[in-house]
Structure 1
Amino acid sequence: MPVNILQINVGRSRAAHDLVLATALRENIDIALVSEPNKALAKKSEWITDAKGDASILFINKHIKISNQKKLKGCVRIDTNKMNIYSCYISPNIPINEYKETTDAIMQDVMDQGKEAVIAGDFNAKSPLWGAPLTDERGNYLTDWVATLDLTIHNNGNPTFERGVSKSHIDITMTTNRIAAKVKDWETMDEETMSQHKYIKFHISTMIGEKRQWNKKPYLDKATFRKIVERELKNDSTPTVDNYLSIIASAQRSATMTRKGKVEVQPYWWNDEISQKKADCNAMRRRITRNHRKSPDASTTIMEEQLKQLRRELQKMIRKSKREQWRELCRKLEEDIWGDGYQITRRHLKIIGMPCQLEDNEKIKMVEILFPDRDDQWKRGPLVPNPPPFTKEELDRAISKIKIGKSRAQII
């Protein structure tokens, strides 16, 4: 089963951060690599984030086995049984010396690990090697490391960042040489991200986890069940107990369905209005792109303002939907304390960071270290023959140390 990966810089935007999960679920993504995540949202337990909150990794496919995770300067790394995956971000505002130090830390770790690796993120560097028309000092320095480690660049020349007529190629996907041939279908997605960066999507044709098992068990469509019951009761205003049970049984049979293949999953706040507004943003973006290709004029400026307005409306709709869902959850909690609110709380208490799954040989090694097989480890100390009895003074001192509220008579 290939591993599907989504890469994006969300620019700290809460709305852009929210859309990452919605897009990942729709596109059947296993791992999302996010630069400049929203710091508040990235603190949630399912995100793995570096110390400064500049780079994050989100696992959608929980079957992927992780043996270790490490926070480095400018990136976060997770280790799987087949490869290491790096999510990176280096700010364009830092001095060149600091840029080199951060790049050195990332690439030196790749070298020290000696393992196949995927290195992806916003490096804010320019070079024709990944599609930029010009080269800057940062690009030259990063290119030297690419040559040193024999890395493969997977960018196809399409810009990954757009702001008006300005375009650049600063989001890069690199892999070590042996795994490069397994990277397929690298592309920049032409859709609204609520960020100035584009989604990058690709997959790796290697197994680093178990295949997803989609639930194909029968399930009850509650909305259909309710409609059938209401319709039948409306026709029979005074049903007997037997009739009532018959209506329930018939409605259950009619409303029971079987899931086939992948079930469409979206975040709890997603609705038809948000979906339509996002589609409007996509359509406007494409119109602007087509206009730029021809000859930008006054209509382009008008359309860009319209796109900004659509984005603001989409952002407000997401916030409004989240508030409404929160109020509904609180209302349900008053009715049933063991309902959705309880289940959500349990999930968050259960997951503290991404659990590390050890291989069998690593488990055996850990047990040997914790419980060494040594005969002299558990030898008893010398026994004192006939220990002297305690005195009355020693007993009085012991009683005086008992906490207030304890009965001395019970002790004596």
Structure 2
Amino acid sequence: MNNLQANMHRCKAADALLSQMVTENGYDLIIISEQYKKKESGTWLEDSSSTAAIWLPPRSKITITVISCYLTPSDSIQEFQEKLDNIEDTARSIEGPLIITGDLNSKVIEWGMPNTDSRGKRILETAARLGLIVLNTGNATTFRRPGCEETTPDITLSTERMAGSIKQWRVLEDYTGSDHQYISFELDTGTNAHQYRKNTGARKWNVSKLNTSKLISAIDDHNPSSSSPKNAEKVVEHTMLNITRACHKSMPKASHSKHKAAVYWWTENISQLRRTCLRLRRSYTRSRRRGAASQEAEQYQAAKKELKHAIDDSKKRKWKELREDINKNPGLRDSGTK
């Protein structure tokens, strides 16, 4: 299971780019802090304050318990503790493996900060009581806003039992549109779903190019005879082998593109602008470390605005095209209202 942990910082551009990231990478579970708006496709779950959510894209299935949370930096220490207590109470009511992720807005040496603050100590105490392990590894920061100190507020915690099943935890360097870098990790649920899809996909054929006469002829050539196996299991195996041979003879295999389909408004220009934003952000980060980054900051901000406008314009254009198609083809409108 391929999972994504994202803090969108209430950003419209980040919301749009998240959909494309999920499409490109096939994420099964997206755990979100500071969401922009509800996703219409798949399953969407969010808390009462709309500051934390879980999104399951269509066809995703999960068998684990996940808590998504966001602890606001403006809260007093008392409000912070109350929210932390609520998270702990919820976690204690859950049996079995558990993952808790989110923007905790705290500093702890264990996840790469230079010191541990009061909030961090309270989180560590809660984690110890619940038997949770911090999965953050490496020194990559997750909060990177021009002119601000880089920090790591986005944390992934899990029970010890679950920790052994989580692989390849890492901070992504993709351009997200948010001030936060996203986190990805894989979860071994006991079955290798990706390998299963790969194996079954290798046996798919292009049905649109089926030669029916060749299929019938190939099946007739392998009609059951007295020499066919009598054991039920062998009969099934023998039959499936004959069907596979017939399919090979009557139609070509389907080609499998490595590229995922893009969201409806995606264009090559937007893809290039996203790459530009990533390049300029890296340039700005390097220049800032040298103490001179005013020009790089301006270029980066300008690129972000251009990307945002390009996304908005593309969505409006596609929506206009859809309305024009409906007006030209009234049947589309009628079928949509049945």
Give the TM-score category using the shorter length.
0.7 to 0.9
- Residue number among 6, 9, 22 corresponding to 2:7 in the alignment: 9
Q: State the structure with more CA Rg.
A: 1
- CA distance in structure 2 between the partners assigned to 1:186 and 1:339 by the alignment: 45
TM-score, normalised via structure 2 length: 0.78
Residue of structure 1 equivalent to 2:129: 148
1:218: Cα distance to partner? Answer: 3.3
How far apart, CA to CA, are the structure 1 residues paired with 2:140 and 2:333? Answer: 44
| Conserved 8 A contact 1:214-1:263 | no
- 1:237-262 Cα distance to aligned partner (Å, 9 max, x none): xxxxxxxxxxxxxxxxxxx9933165
Over residues 124-150 of structure 1, what are the superposed CA-to-partner deviations in whole Å (9 max), with x where a residue is unaligned? 111112211121111111100111111
Q: What residue number does 1:35 align with?
A: 33
Pairwise CA distance, 1:34: 1.2
How far 1:337 sits from its partner (Å)? 4.1
State the alpha-carbon separation in 1 of the partners of residues 177 and 70 from structure 2: 19
Equivalent residues of 1:333, 1:341 under 8 A apart: no
**Alpha-carbon spacing, 1:162–1:217, altered in 2? closer, same or farther (3 Å):** same
Secondary structure at the counterpart of residue 93 of structure 2: helix
Equivalent pairs counted in the alignment come to 287
Residues 58 and 208 of structure 1: is their aligned pair in 2 closer, same or farther, counting only changes over 3 Å? farther
Pick one of 194, 207, 224 that aligns with 2:177: 194
Tell me the TM-score normalized by structure 1. Answer: 0.64
Equivalent-residue separation in structure 2 for 1:333 and 1:128 (angstroms): 58
**Which residue does 1:271 correspond to in 2?**
267
Task: State the match for 1:21 in structure 2.
Answer: 19
Counterpart of 2:174 in structure 1: which amino acid?
E
CA distance in 2, matches of 1:19, 1:341: 32
**Structure 1 pair 63–198 and aligned structure 2 pair: CA distance change class (3 A):** closer
User: Are 1:42 and 1:53, in contact at CA under 8 Å, matched by a contact in 2?
Assistant: no
Counterpart residue type for residue 123 of structure 1? L
Aligned equivalent of 2:49, options 47, 52, 76? 52
1:315 counterpart (308, 313, 326): 308
Residues 150 and 318 of structure 1: is their aligned pair in 2 closer, same or farther, counting only changes over 3 Å? same
Q: 1:325 aligns with which of 318, 323, 326?
A: 318
Deviation, 1:214, is 6.4
- Mark the CA change 1:186 to 1:342 in structure 2 (over 3 Å): closer, same or farther: farther
Q: Distance in 1 between matches of 2:3 and 2:285?
A: 26
Q: What residue in structure 2 maps to residue 135 of structure 1? A: 116
Note if contact 2:287-2:296 (Cα within 8 Å) is conserved in structure 1: no
Instruction: Quote how far apart the aligned CAs of 1:315 are.
Output: 0.3
Q: How does 1:209-358 map to 2 (within 5 A)?
A: 218=206, 258-260=254-256, 264-293=260-289, 295-297=290-292, 300-339=293-332
Return the letter of the residue paired with 1:116.
Answer: P
1:391-402 to 2 correspondences below 5 Å: none
Q: Match of 1:92?
A: 73
1:315 to 1:103, Cα distance in 2 relative to 1, 3 A: same
Gaps of 5+ in 2: 209-251
Query: In 1, Cα distance between the equivalents of 2:164 and 2:39?
Result: 35
> Residues of 2 paired with 1:52 and 1:119: CA distance?
18
Ranges in structure 1 where 5+ consecutive residues have no aligned partner: 65-79, 221-255, 347-412
**Amino acid of the residue matched to residue 267 of structure 2?**
N
Whether the 8 Å CA contact 2:41–2:58 is kept in 1: the answer is no
What fraction of aligned residue pairs are identical, expressed as a percent? 30
CA offset at residue 335 of structure 1? 2.6
